[in-house]
Amino acid sequence: MPSSKKNRRRKDFVNTNKKREWRKLKRKQNLRIPCDQIRQSWDSEKTVKQNLAEMGLTVDPNQSMKKPSKPFMPKVIEEEKVEAPFKPEVIKGD
């Protein structure tokens, strides 16, 4: 049986605007970082995660601020019940 890999055709993108695609690619390659401190300390040879970790920032805030497995419940200290003394003179009666 012939292999299907040999018969694959190369896809030609005829209906795409080459000029627009080139501009998109160019824009993505030359991103402008608005923050001066981040732009100056950015190292293009490192990954995003490494760069942000070096600056003290985090990529995923959910991992850096992990939710505790058990919700915090303050312990309630039960107070001893003290019965009020019986005072017959306070009770009004005829």
The pLDDT tens digits of the residues spanning 15-62 come to 888 899 999 888 887 777 888 888 889 888 999 899 999 999 888 888
**Per-residue b or e along 25-48, where b marks 16 or more CB atoms closer than 10 Å to that residue's CB:** eeeeeeeeeeeeeeeeeeeeeeee
Q: Indicate if the pLDDT at residue 5 is higher than 70.
A: no
Q: Indicate if the pLDDT at residue 94 is higher than 60.
A: no
Q: What's the confidence (pLDDT) of residue 83? A: 78
Q: What's the confidence (pLDDT) of residue 70? A: 75
Domain ranges of the chain: 18-60
